[in-house]
Amino acid sequence: MEPARLFLGFLCASAALAASSLHQRPPQPEPLLLQEEEEPELGESPSGSLWPLPRSLRILPSQLRLAPARFQLVHGPGSTAGPSCALLQDAFRRYYEHIFGYSKWQNRGQRRLPAGTELLQLQVIIGSKDSECDNYPNITSDEAYQLSVTEPVAVLKAEKVWGALRGLETFSQLVYEDDYGSFLINESEITDYPRFAHRGILLDTSRHFLPLKSILTNLDAMAFNKFNVLHWHIVDDHSFPYQSVTFPELSGKGSYTYDHIYTPTDVRLVIDYARLRGIRVIPEFDSPGHTQSWGKGKKDLLTPCFNGEHQSGSYGPVNPILNTTYNFMTDLFKEISGVFPDAYIHLGGDEVDFTCWKSNPDVTEFMKQQGFGIDYAKLESYYIQKILDIVSSANKGYIVWQEVFDKGAKIKSDTIVEVWIGNLYTAELSRVTRAGFTAILAAPWYLDYISYGQDWKKYYSVEPLNFIGCEKQKKLVIGGEACLWGEFVDATNLTPRLWPRASAVGERLWSSENVTNIRDAYNRLVKHRCRMLRRGIAAEPLFVGYCDHEARGL
């Protein structure tokens, strides 16, 4: 891999560093100690069980009770959203369940509580003329909210429904039960908004197929952690589960089996389920590498590899020298652009192996014609630029893995570059933002790399803006993603492997930069994990201990 271009800082003065790093490799195992993990002492956080921690938070000692039979979630006076806003209606019902749904509270709540001690309502007030109730969330969606819990009604104010969703989650986290099973909440004042706009989870449905139910469960957990982007790495070398209407043979021949497919209805369901939770769905159709499974259903799409004079029978990346390739991509991406409403599509572009291209005499000839010499990165860029043009003409923006930038492909100024290569990612962030591109950070958050012990602390301790660059550059980092690649993950272990480890990333991307106290985080996260269990998410334990309600199921 060649060094990235170095821009001499004329806008921001800073040192330009090092060449880009090598391929991903698993981290070195840490030294092992036996049965000797230090026991962190579990205590109470002054912020209770809130996760991720709100921007500003004042919790008063005064407690109010909530009676399940009386308490209501309602649209407040002056709200621009009303009962016709199905998104909020659904959210009210959901959060009522999350708050009260798991206890046997029937037949309580008949007796009146002493005046001045009961919280009767949460009023949700959308301020903006356009509540965006029927929209899809996008990169600029306003997720800010204010929550004021005082007797007798609590008020949740947000400009848009997206902020209301985040505020409802926070409100649900403020409610707790005392020893007698009463539901209590402290009077509180909260002002909250996310630090980063893009807070994503990557799921890989190619290396292993994930049943729809796994994906939906994961969207629930994402909402509990205020994540707002599902990066759906939907196809790859191993299988092509996306059922295309234009090219049904892609999944017909490229999926593991007929049973391992996402139909258009399935995809629709995921997108709608996500929207109701304020989550964007960004699909990734990675090319020109990582496309082995495409070849089965699309003749001549992949480059035939040669063994000397003869075709070897195996195939390499997408064949970049044929017009048919671009015709195919135009039609495919036209469909994808229609199916996925988000303004962005992830186009991949990582880890392109040149050996097959090098072996192919037609490709060699083409290189000569184009004057590329033997610089196959130029061929790759040639391909990528054509793809980017195709996607642009479908009015979509794009996200690419860092190699596309590293190799100097000409990309539109609003391209988002996702930084994933493990070491030296801070230098890469410097380079990408110095060149004026928007960046998403994934490198330190490859959650598929498991290790023994409390590795959530490692993810938690990452500071995304800790790289060399000026203010303007820092602003270009719009967020990050926790990635759970699928080599060793399927429906059997997805949920416990992802949660609560991804929660650490969730707080890093939502909360203030100065929220870094590991001990306080531990105390809140232990409770947050127990709460996820109660809500049906089989989140694994952080360390020794227990939850009042252990995981159901099994």
Partner 1 sequence: MAALALLLVGLVPAGAVWPQPQLVRESLGGGRCRLSPDRFRFGYARSSAVGPGCAVLDQAFLRYWRLLRDAGPRAPEDTRPWKPLCTELLVSVATPHCDGFPDMDSVESYKLSTSEDLSLLSSESVWGALRGLETFSQLVWRDEDGTFYLNKTDIVDFPRFAHRGLLLDTSRHYLPVRAILETLDVMAYNKFNVFHWHIVDDPSFPYESAAFPELSQKGAYNPVTHVYTLNDVKLVIEYARLRGIRVISEFDTPGHTLSWGPGAPGLLTPCYAGSIPSGAHGPVNPILNTTYQFMTELFREISTVFPDFYLHLGGDEVDFSCWRSNPEIQAFMQRMGFGQDYAKLESFYIQRLLDIISSYGKGYVVWQEVFDNGVKVKPDTIIHVWRENAGPYQQEVARVTEAGYRALLSAPWYLNRISYGQDWQTAYQVEPLEFEGSPEQKELVIGGEACMWGEYVDVTNLTPRLWPRAGAIAERLWSNKTVRGLQDAYIRLADFRCTLLRRGIQAQPLFTGYCDSEYSGF
- Residues in contact with partner 1 by CB under 8 A are 26-27, 29, 32-35, 37, 207-209, 211, 213-214, 217, 238-239, 256-257, 259-260, 448-454, 486-493, 495-497, 533, 538-546, 548, 550-551, 553-554
Q: How far is the CB of 34 from partner 1 (least distance, A)?
A: 6
3-class DSSP assignment, residue 413: coil
* Residues 492, 527, 144, 187, CA torsion sign: positive
Q: How far is the CB of 466 from partner 1 (least distance, A)?
A: 25
Q: How far is the CB of 428 from partner 1 (least distance, A)?
A: 22
**Residue 351 is a catalytic residue:** yes
* Residues 17, 19, 25, 29, CA torsion sign: negative
Q: How far is the CB of 212 from partner 1 (least distance, A)?
A: 11
Please, which residue, 77 or 553, has the CB nearer to partner 1?
A: 553
Q: How far is the CB of 259 from partner 1 (least distance, A)?
A: 7
- The span from the CA of 242 to the CA of 235, in Å, is 7
215 membership: H or E segment, kind and range: helix 212-224
Cα 326 from chain centre: 30
Cα 307 from chain centre: 41
Q: How far is the CB of 305 from partner 1 (least distance, A)?
A: 15
Contact 298, 315 (CB under 8 A): no
Please, which residue, 30 or 365, has the CB nearer to partner 1?
A: 30
Say if strands 56-66 and 183-192 run parallel, antiparallel, or are unpaired.
antiparallel
Q: Is residue 26 classed exposed, middle or buried when 0-12, 13-18 and 19+ CB atoms within 10 A define those classes?
A: exposed
Q: How far is the CB of 38 from partner 1 (least distance, A)?
A: 11
Please, which residue, 171 or 273, has the CB nearer to partner 1?
A: 273
* Residues 142, 133, 85, 93, CA torsion sign: negative
Those residues with Cβ within 8 angstroms of residue 223's Cβ, 6 or more apart along the chain or in another chain: 165, 169, 277, 278, 279
* Longest CA–CA separation in the chain, Å: 90
3-class DSSP assignment, residue 534: helix
Choosing from 41, 351, 507, 513, the catalytic residue is: 351
In Å, how far are 283, 344, 405 from 107, measured between CA atoms?
47, 50, 62
Please, which residue, 101 or 127, has the CB nearer to partner 1?
A: 101
Please, which residue, 98 or 501, has the CB nearer to partner 1?
A: 501
Please, which residue, 259 or 309, has the CB nearer to partner 1?
A: 259
Rg (CA), the chain: 25
In degrees and rounded to multiples of 5, residue 189 shows phi and psi of -130, 125
Cα 402 from chain centre: 17
Please, which residue, 88 or 489, has the CB nearer to partner 1?
A: 489
Q: Which residues are catalytic?
A: 351
